[in-house]
Amino acid sequence: MGPGRGIDIDFTSLEKVAVLTCHNTKSDETTFVCEVDIYLAYKWTGEPEDTDEMYCPQWYFFAAIPLNKLMLADREWLPLVLRGKKLKVEAHYGPYQQTLLKPVVIEEVKDFE
């Protein structure tokens, strides 16, 4: 994003708080794995705007995050991260990420290398 558009993050304020590994099963029964590093940003300027990837972004107080609208595994680990935990998370999703095929595995870690 350029100045004056969307959010500009002070990258020195980023803190890695989780690694999420999603094992995804497609409708044709093939699988693929996505690993996502999760960061919190403590300093930024600007306001979120619509993009091709995100429609109608909104700010929420922690207690008001609509967990029931998040992906199934995110409902379990996100509240822990927002309470200061650092985590490694593993989720196994069915087709279209509508179901969890196994319980979500959440491991608390002290820090990331």
Residue ranges making up the domain that contains 32: 7-109
* CATH number of the domain to which 62 belongs: 3.90.79.10
Does residue 83 have a pLDDT over 60? yes
Sheet holding 31-41, edge to edge: 31-41, 14-25, 86-93, 105-109
Q: Which two tokens stand for residue 99?
A: 């179901």
Q: How many CB atoms lie within 10 A of CB 77?
A: 22
**φ, ψ at 67 (rounded to 5°):** -55, -35
pLDDT at 53: 86
Domain count for the chain: 1
Question: pLDDT tens across 43-70, in order?
Answer: 999 999 998 888 899 899 989 999 999 9
Residue type, 59: W
Residue 64 domain-assigned?
Answer: yes
The three-class DSSP label of residue 38 is strand
pLDDT at 23: 97
**Residues 20-27: what's their mean pLDDT?**
96
The pTM of the full predicted model, rounded to 2 decimals, is: 0.86
